[in-house]
Amino acid sequence: LARLIFFAMADSALQAKILRQVEYYFGDINLSKDTFMKKTLEEKDGWLPFETLLKFKRLVQISSDIEVIKGALADSELVEVGEAGVRRMPSNPAPESLSEALTIHADKALYVKGFPTDSNL
């Protein structure tokens, strides 16, 4: 029973990491400034294909199993999974610009840049 609880906790932690990373990609701040994501979503009617999602290094470091990723996103309030891939829920559209996103999140956003990409917290 203890092993089962351990694996359930590990699975839950993995799902939380996946959810946090994918919701970051589709979040107001990132999506408003990520030209690659915006272009891909425009070309694919709002969907990010799974094969494109699996090219994102930080996500693949967490998991490259698309079924595990789909399962982790099942309870998301920001994105939904479909046959075409993953998309931001149409009922919650992204801001048009970074300045609009920063205005919306002014009370909780901090934008920093210039750190090495291999840095860890």
- CA 79 to CA 27: how far, in whole Å? 9
Q: What percent of the chain has pLDDT over 90?
A: 55
pLDDT, position 6 = 43
- Mean pLDDT score, 67-76: 94
Torsion of CA 16, 24, 48, 40, to 10 degrees: -170
* Mean local confidence (pLDDT), 20-24: 95
Q: Name the helix (H) or strand (E) containing 38.
A: helix 35-43
pTM here is 0.74
Amino acid at 119: S
Distance CA 48, CA 87 (A): 6
What is the reported pLDDT for 107?
66
Say yes or no to pLDDT of 7 above 70.
Answer: no
Residue 3 confidence (pLDDT) above 60? no
The mean per-residue pLDDT over the stretch 3-16 comes to 66
**Is 37's pLDDT higher than 90?**
yes
